[in-house]
Amino acid sequence: MTVNERAVRALKEILQKPGNDACADCGAADPEWASCSLGVFICLGCSGIHRNLPEIGKVKSVTLSRWEDSEIQFMAERGNKAMKAEYEAVVPVYYYKPTHKDCQALREQWIRAKYERKEFSTAGRKLPYEEGMREGMLMKRGRDNGQFFSRRFVLLEREGNLKYYAKQDAKMPKAVIKVDTINATFQPGKIGNPNGLQITYLKENITRNIFLYHESSKEIVDWYNSIRYVQFHYLKVAFPGSSDAELKPKLTRNFLKEGYMEKTGPRQTEGFKRRWFTLDHRRLMYFKDPLDAFAKGEVYLAHRDLGYSVCAGLPVGTHCNGAWQHGITIVTPDRSFLFTCESESEQQDWISHFSSAIGTSMSPQEYSMEALFKHKY
């Protein structure tokens, strides 16, 4: 056995220890890389981020790199469990811990916050997200022309809202957004910028989208976590009896699924038209274009006991004049919605998400939401 084979065998043994079976930073299974400055096992994606950290960015492949005995010893002594206890000792409830499915900006800032800035190592530190007020310029996509312009944004914990101004010195905000209606999600692909952030909110019960970015990934991720911080404190006041664990899922959430389907109108005789669909928990919204400010319409997916159901296929006799053939029918107490998907796998994927929403019991807030939606049809 060569020196290196021995090293690989020793490392594989260390990888068997609890905690080392998943990336220390994003949780991806079976990490094949390691930071030998920090003593953690990480996935390929996170290793690329670590590599760019000055001073602490020494990464090696478990199987391909040459390892010194002292380095193997170091990995054995440390490992993911012990280092998590050190670097993630006090992660605030509102702080979003990214997974391997999240975008580069979120993962990079999480790794930098953990190891470079050591934000979560000792209690009692006031983090930049917790100021109660954040003010700054963000690039915002214009509603009509699709160009991005620099706009001043102000987030205020005291007022529980996010405002933005059309001009730097404007007195009146262009919009006042209540934080409890905000859902912020990173959308680099859709927005066409690695730091692209979509903010979805309600204005007079109508869903509205704005699309933002900042050149600096730290700035945009700080904004994102500041919004979560303000939302969390708003919810604490609104639901005084709730535990942190109950409130956490009410903060920003990633969309369950997005993509194109074709749909027909309420009379079901209109042609099928291609629309961009976004499923945000129980709200299925559709847009003409993925970057539209307003949804063309929405379907609220309430519990099946209230008369909601979903099935594959279209009602017999539906004149399917669209290009796509894989039908889905959603039945609500008021009407049926007919969709078609490009492929069977897309159809099955959408159906499994719809079924899961319809099969999940509802909170009191969701009952009032459902009642509100009924009036819209």
- Write out the DSSP string of 281-311: TTEEEEESSTT-SB-SEEEE---GGGT-EEE
In the complex, minimum distance from the CB of residue 42 to Zn ion, in angstroms, rounded to a whole number: 5
Nearer to Zn ion, 97 or 257 (CB): 97
**Is residue 26 a contact point for Zn ion (CB under 5 A)?**
yes
**Is residue 34 a contact point for Zn ion (CB under 5 A)?**
no
**Is residue 182 a contact point for Zn ion (CB under 5 A)?**
no
Estimate to the nearest angstrom the gap between the alpha carbon of 327 and the chain centroid. Answer: 28
Which stretch in 41-49, 139-147, 339-347, 362-370 sits in contact with Zn ion by CB under 5 A?
Answer: 41-49
Q: Which residue has the tokens 């929403």?
A: 357
Which stretch in 38-46, 120-128, 130-138, 238-246 sits in contact with Zn ion by CB under 5 A?
Answer: 38-46
Q: Which of 8, 23, 113, 279 binds Zn ion (CB under 5 A)?
A: 23
In the complex, minimum distance from the CB of residue 31 to Zn ion, in angstroms, rounded to a whole number: 7
Q: Which of 36, 40, 43, 220 binds Zn ion (CB under 5 A)?
A: 43
Give pairs for 355-362: CB < 8 Å, separation 24+.
355/310, 357/279, 357/281, 357/282, 357/301, 358/301, 358/302, 358/303, 358/304, 358/308, 358/309, 358/310, 359/303, 359/304, 360/303, 361/303, 362/302, 362/303
Which stretch in 15-23, 149-157, 186-194, 294-302 sits in contact with Zn ion by CB under 5 A?
Answer: 15-23
Nearer to Zn ion, 46 or 235 (CB): 46
Total residues contacting Zn ion by CB under 5 A comes to 6
Asked whether the beta carbons of 171 and 183 are under 8 A apart, the reply is: no
In the complex, minimum distance from the CB of residue 201 to Zn ion, in angstroms, rounded to a whole number: 31
In the complex, minimum distance from the CB of residue 245 to Zn ion, in angstroms, rounded to a whole number: 24
Pairing of strands 309-312, 326-331: antiparallel
Asked whether the beta carbons of 314 and 327 are under 8 A apart, the reply is: yes
User: Which helix (DSSP H) or strand (DSSP E) does residue 191 occupy?
Assistant: helix 188-191
Q: Which of 7, 14, 36, 46 binds Zn ion (CB under 5 A)?
A: 46
In the complex, minimum distance from the CB of residue 99 to Zn ion, in angstroms, rounded to a whole number: 9
Nearer to Zn ion, 43 or 210 (CB): 43
Which stretch in 35-43, 117-125, 133-141, 163-171 sits in contact with Zn ion by CB under 5 A?
Answer: 35-43
Q: Which residue has the tokens 């380095």?
A: 71
In the complex, minimum distance from the CB of residue 98 to Zn ion, in angstroms, rounded to a whole number: 9
Asked whether the beta carbons of 6 and 51 are under 8 A apart, the reply is: no
- Write out the DSSP string of 131-154: SSEEEEEEEEE-TTT--EEEEEEE
Nearer to Zn ion, 44 or 362 (CB): 44
In the complex, minimum distance from the CB of residue 291 to Zn ion, in angstroms, rounded to a whole number: 30
- Write out the DSSP string of 311-361: EES--TT----SS--EEEEEE-SS-EEEEEESSHHHHHHHHHHHHHHHTS-
The SS3 of residue 202 is: strand
Task: Provide the 10 A C-beta neighbour count for residue 201.
Answer: 20
Nearer to Zn ion, 98 or 290 (CB): 98
Helix runs in 29-79, H state only = 44-51, 69-77
Which candidate, 263, 305, 314, places its Cα nearest to that of 284? 263
Q: Which of 10, 22, 28, 156 binds Zn ion (CB under 5 A)?
A: 28
Which stretch in 26-34, 166-174, 238-246, 294-302 sits in contact with Zn ion by CB under 5 A?
Answer: 26-34
Nearer to Zn ion, 86 or 131 (CB): 86
Both tokens of 19, joined, read: 């905690």
In the complex, minimum distance from the CB of residue 168 to Zn ion, in angstroms, rounded to a whole number: 40
Which stretch in 27-35, 138-146, 165-173, 302-310 sits in contact with Zn ion by CB under 5 A?
Answer: 27-35
Instruction: Please report, as ranges, the residues that interact with Zn ion according to CB under 5 A.
Output: 23, 25-26, 28, 43, 46
